[in-house]
C-alpha cells in the first residue's frame, strides 16, 4: 500500500484524494502537519490560489520542511497552483515559494479572456488513450532548465513536465473522471 498525501492548506484537496483512492493499493490522504510528511510516499500540491497556499505554508512553518523533503527525493506533483509553488522563478514576480523545480512559470498565463478551456491530447508516456484536459486560470511554463523533461506542450506552451522526482502540470486531472495522470504519478512513487 502506498500512501499519497494531498497538501491540504487550500484548494482542490478532496478531488485529488477521491481520485487516489480509486487506484488499487493506494491510499490518498489530506496532510497539513509536518509530522504527516514523514508518513507519506508521495505528495500532491493541488490547484487553488498559489499566493494563499504559499502564505499558509509559511504560516504553518511547512515551507522549509517540505522543501527539504522534496530535495531529499519525496515524489511530488504540483497541479496548476501547485506548479507555481514548485517553480524556481515566476514571470513578472520576485517571489517564489518552494523554488525546487528548474522552471520559470507564468501565472494566469492565458489571461482573463481564455481563463478556462478544455483540450484533448495524447501523451504516450502517460496513457495510450487520448485525454481531456481542463485548464482553469492556468499557468504555463515559460522556460525550463536542461534537467527538465517536457511531457506535453499545448499551443507551443509547456503544460506538463518532469524533473526527477518532481512532476508539474498546468491543468486539473482531478476535475475529470480520467485517472491517467494519477496513475502516472503513482508509477513515479512506486519507482522511487
Tell me which residues touch ligand GLN (CB under 6 A): 47-50, 80-81, 84, 107-108, 136-137
What Rg, from alpha-carbon coordinates, does the chain have? Answer: 15
| Least distance in angstroms from the C-beta of 55 to ligand GLN | 11
Nearer to ligand GLN, 73 or 115 (CB): 115
Is 161 tagged catalytic?
A: no
**Closer by beta carbon to ligand GLN, 15 or else 102:** 15
**From 16, 97, 161, 174, active-site residue:** 174
Q: Pairing relation of β-strands 2-7 and 149-154? A: unpaired
Nearest approach, Cβ of 143 to ligand GLN (angstroms)? 18
Pick 54 or 75: Cβ nearer ligand GLN? 54
Burial of 156 from C-beta contacts in 10 A (0-12 / 13-18 / 19+): exposed
User: Shortest gap between Cβ of 116 and ligand GLN (angstroms)?
Assistant: 9
Residue listed under C-alpha cell 478544455: 118
Q: Are 166 and 85 in contact (CB under 8 A)?
A: no
Grid coordinates of 7: 497538501
Question: Closer to ligand GLN at the Cβ: 3 or 137?
Answer: 137
Considering the complex, what minimum distance in angstroms separates the CB of residue 24 from ligand GLN?
28
Is 172 noted as a catalytic residue in this protein?
Answer: yes
Please report how many Cα atoms fall inside a 13 Å half-sphere around the Cα of residue 32, on the Cβ side: 13
Q: Which one is catalytic: 16, 80, 97, 161?
A: 80
Sequence-ordered strand ranges (E) for the chain: 2-7, 26-31, 42-45, 76-79, 87-90, 101-106, 116-121, 131-136, 140-144, 149-154, 157-163, 166-169
Residues involved in catalysis: 80, 172, 174
Amino acid at each position: 500500500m502506498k500512501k499519497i498525501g494531498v497538501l491540504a492548506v487550500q484548494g482542490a484537496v478532496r478531488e485529488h484524494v477521491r481520485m487516489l483512492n480509486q487506484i488499487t493499493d493506494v491510499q490518498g490522504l489530506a496532510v497539513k502537519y509536518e509530522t504527516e510528511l514523514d508518513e507519506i510516499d508521495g505528495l500532491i500540491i493541488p490547484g487553488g490560489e498559489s499566493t494563499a497556499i504559499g502564505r499558509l505554508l509559511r504560516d504553518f512553518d511547512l515551507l522549509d520542511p517540505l522543501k527539504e523533503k522534496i530535495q531529499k527525493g519525496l515524489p511530488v506533483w504540483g497541479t496548476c497552483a501547485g506548479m507555481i509553488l514548485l517553480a524556481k522563478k515566476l514571470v513578472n514576480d520576485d517571489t517564489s515559494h518552494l523554488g525546487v523545480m528548474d522552471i520559470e512559470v507564468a501565472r494566469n498565463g492565458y489571461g482573463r479572456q481564455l481563463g478556462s478551456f478544455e483540450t484533448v491530447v495524447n501523451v504516450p508516456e502517460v496513457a495510450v488513450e487520448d485525454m481531456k484536459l481542463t485548464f482553469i486560470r492556468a499557468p504555463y511554463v515559460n522556460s525550463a532548465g536542461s534537467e527538465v523533461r517536457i511531457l506535453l506542450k499545448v499551443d507551443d506552451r509547456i503544460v506538463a513536465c518532469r524533473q526527477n522526482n518532481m512532476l508539474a502540470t498546468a491543468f486539473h486531472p482531478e476535475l475529470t473522471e480520467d485517472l491517467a495522470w494519477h496513475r502516472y504519478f503513482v508509477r513515479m512513487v512506486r519507482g522511487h
